[in-house]
Amino acid sequence: MLDEKLQPIFDDVLRRNPGEDEFHQAVREVLDSLGAVVAKHPHYAEDALIERICEPERQIIFRVPWVDDKGQVQINRGFRVQFNSALGPFKGGLRFHPTVYLGTIKFLGFEQTFKNALTGMPIGGGKGGADFDPKGRSSGEIMRFCQSFMTELCRHLGEYTDVPAGDIGVGQREIGYMFGQYKRIANRYESGVLTGKGLAWGGSQVRTEATGYGAVYFVERMLRTRNHNFDGKKVIVSGSGNVAIYTMEKIMELGGKVIACSDSNGYVVDESGIDLALLKEIKEKKRGRVSDYAKARRSSHFVSNGRIWDVPADVAMPSATQNELNGQDARTLVKNRIVAVGEGANMPCTPEAVKIFLDAGVMFGPGKATNAGGVATSALEMQQNASRDSWTFEATEARLATIMHGIHDRCAEMADTYGSPGNYVLGANVAGFIRVAEAMRALGIV
């Protein structure tokens, strides 16, 4: 049950945003954590502050027409939800996936607001994307789609207004096409308008690796609170995209063994440890599938109809997509004595799964804290762009590590303060909320 001040707010969110299940789920999770805050500090419930936090500042929906390789005109729908700019320009990635609709982008933008606050950096929250499916599309088609998408989106962006980055289906190639189109229309080399750029044209060292590396830094610090570390641990990492690959890389550097990963067609198990060079070759260079990995590596096998979470391991890092790990999966992991779960993706565990982990005493790092290293490094990219400087890999990674340790410690401290030691979900929601709420109170009713 929600606190009596918060229930009507949630009822209103349900009424005003029908059919947007993921958005409801994300709001509910934050409100669940705020009961103790509102009881201790009633002023946070004044002036409709929480209602305002649940309502995006601006939502943009637009047509994206483009011509495919056969000369056919295709139409997609583009979105940008500018959720909250109390702490800085809207900041958050763009997702290209056929399942994208307004509810996806709103849930991601809402989460992003608190995540960005947790980093301690001057960035507000936003998210965008399109229901475009990049799978099987040629480079030319991807470029024409990105150009058309940016032709509309550009009028809503700016280094002091809104600064997108990548997400599912949007990597450095797509950011390049969009930056090229923005530059052409604006007639300005405005590096700070997009992050995730290539190193030769305004990008930052470590941005590619940042979300995965950061997630591992967070989980490692969490493990240490109970005298564990990654050394010798067996780890499952779902997904095989940007976040998953660099999560695996850092786990291996710290002595862990990644024994399974996946894509939307199935998962691969490799008890001798995933060969990351091979996986990168298949995924990053050839844009192939994890089933190709299984064909190329004799110690592994591919499972097309099953759950990656059935593979016994010590640590699980879901790094593909929302709600990919359900209550039944959580029960299996607990039965197999999982020690820790760190969310690399946004909201990959269902609320039931999260409850099962917390009740079983499994260390659990929620995505909005664990995967904040990507956006934090995007903010470092913006700093370098603003000062026309570029930092070394080592210096940037050191900054990332410090930021992730800071996020971990703030979440742990807030969980203690609000009576739930070790509950990083509560800690992250409260720490993020208080920073946004303080800024909103200072800025008046806007």
**What are the catalytic residues?**
127
Maximum distance among all alpha carbons in the chain?
62
- Tell me how far apart the alpha carbons of residues 198 and 390 are, in angstroms, rounded to a whole number: 12
Question: Does residue 126 touch ligand NDP according to CB under 6 A?
Answer: no
Residues between 220 and 239 with contacts to ligand NDP, criterion CB under 6 A: 239
AA letter at 161: T
346 binds ligand NDP (CB under 6 A): yes
* Nearest distance from C-beta of residue 82 to ligand NDP, angstroms: 17
Q: Is 175 in the site for ligand NDP (CB under 6 A)?
A: no
Q: Is 345 in the site for ligand NDP (CB under 6 A)?
A: yes
- Of residues 191, 240, 385, 423, which one binds ligand NDP by CB under 6 A? 240
Give the nearest distance from C-beta 230 to ligand NDP in angstroms. Answer: 20
Tell whether residue 371 is a contact of ligand NDP (CB under 6 A): yes
For ligand NDP, the binding residue among 321, 385, 396, 423 (CB under 6 A) is 321
**76 or 151: CB nearest ligand NDP:** 76
Considering only 181, 242, 350, 396, the residue that binds ligand NDP (CB under 6 A) is 242
Q: What are phi and psi of 91, to 5 degrees?
A: -145, 130
Does residue 251 touch ligand NDP according to CB under 6 A?
no
Nearer to ligand NDP, 88 or 239 (CB): 239
Q: Which is nearer to ligand NDP, 113 or 151 (CB)?
A: 113
Q: If binding is defined by CB under 6 A, does position 104 make contact with ligand NDP?
A: no
Q: How far is the CB of 404 from ligand NDP (least distance, A)?
A: 13
Spatial separation of the C-alpha atoms in residues 53 and 437, rounded to whole Å: 8
- Kindly state the tokens that stand for 54: 């649940």
In contact, 400 and 210? CB cutoff 8 Å: yes
- Least distance from ligand NDP to the Cβ atom of residue 244, Å: 6
Contact call for residue 131 and ligand NDP (CB under 6 A) = no
Closest residue to ligand NDP: CB criterion = 241
- Between CA 127 and CA 95 the distance in angstroms is 8
- Interface residues with ligand NDP (CB under 6 A)? 97, 166-169, 211, 239-244, 263-265, 319-321, 344-346, 371, 374
